[in-house]
Amino acid sequence: MLVKKGGVFGTTQGLQQQYGEDRVIDTPLAESNIVGTAIGAAMVGKRPIAEIQFADFILPATNQIISEAAKMRYRSIMNGNAPLTIRAPFGGGVHGGLYHSQSIESIFASSPG
């Protein structure tokens, strides 16, 4: 998302130029789509890093994270997995106000994977 501009906080600045458009891609601003695309890429051998703008916005992707990515090994009779990294800034340090500062990572703490 916003790769050409460096992402929301500049974390992807220069990555597309360095690694190419086939490895660093923009996605629609839909968290479930961002994570779903990353899961698909992981299943075919890529090592995706998905960036969610703020942790507060990760909730629409919880089904993909908890029911798909975290359980892929078990769903594939131990023959597959979906290794991926999801970045999502959270807490007061991002100065996002009411809707951009929640610390909701505990939702994922008890999930397998």
What is the model's pTM?
0.85
pLDDT of 1 over the 70 cut:
no
Could you say which of 71, 75, 87, 100 is catalytic?
100
Distance CA 20, CA 23 (A): 6
Q: Is 100 a catalytic residue?
A: yes
Q: Would you kindly state where each structural domain of the chain is located, as residue ranges?
A: 28-109
pLDDT digits (tens, 9 = 90+) for 71-109: 998 888 878 889 999 998 887 766 777 777 788 888 888
Domain covering 28-109: architecture: 3-Layer(aba) Sandwich (3.40)
